[in-house]
Amino acid sequence: MAEVDRDRQKSEQRFVRSVNRRARRLRRDKDDRSAWFCFGMFGMVGWSVAVPSVALAALGTWLDRRWPGKISWTLTLLITGIAIGCWMAWNWVRSESKDDDDDK
């Protein structure tokens, strides 16, 4: 019985050391954010605005050709795409900032 307790205790100690080692590695990686990380963040924000803007502008161009009218579908959907993209980028940056605040 005592031997089983010792084996269990050793196993728990190995587990705790492993978790602590991984936590130190994660903290170190988060502190060592390089310029590439910042460029990546700019890229993520840029693409999250560009993709919906271009997609909805293309849809608006198709709608303008298909059903021309007083209202420019291209302009309307372009503005909508920019708004959606800005909202998506804002949510992403906010979630990243929340993760940083939780780590401190």
Q: What is the mean pLDDT of residues 5-24?
A: 78
Q: What is the pLDDT of residues 75-85, one digit of tens each?
A: 999 999 999 99
Q: What is the pLDDT of residues 28-40, one digit of tens each?
A: 666 556 677 777 7
Show Cβ contacts of residue 21 under 8 Å, excluding neighbours closer than 6 positions: none
- How many structural domains compose the chain? 2
Does 50 lie in the same domain as 26?
A: no
Range of the domain at 39: 34-104
Vertex 49, ends 47 and 53: CA angle to 5°? 110
Does 67 lie in the same domain as 41?
A: yes
State pTM to two decimals: 0.60
Does 76 lie in the same domain as 100?
A: yes
Does 15 lie in the same domain as 41?
A: no
Does 88 lie in the same domain as 41?
A: yes
The rounded distance, in Å, linking the Cα atoms of 34 and 57 is: 35
Does 93 lie in the same domain as 44?
A: yes
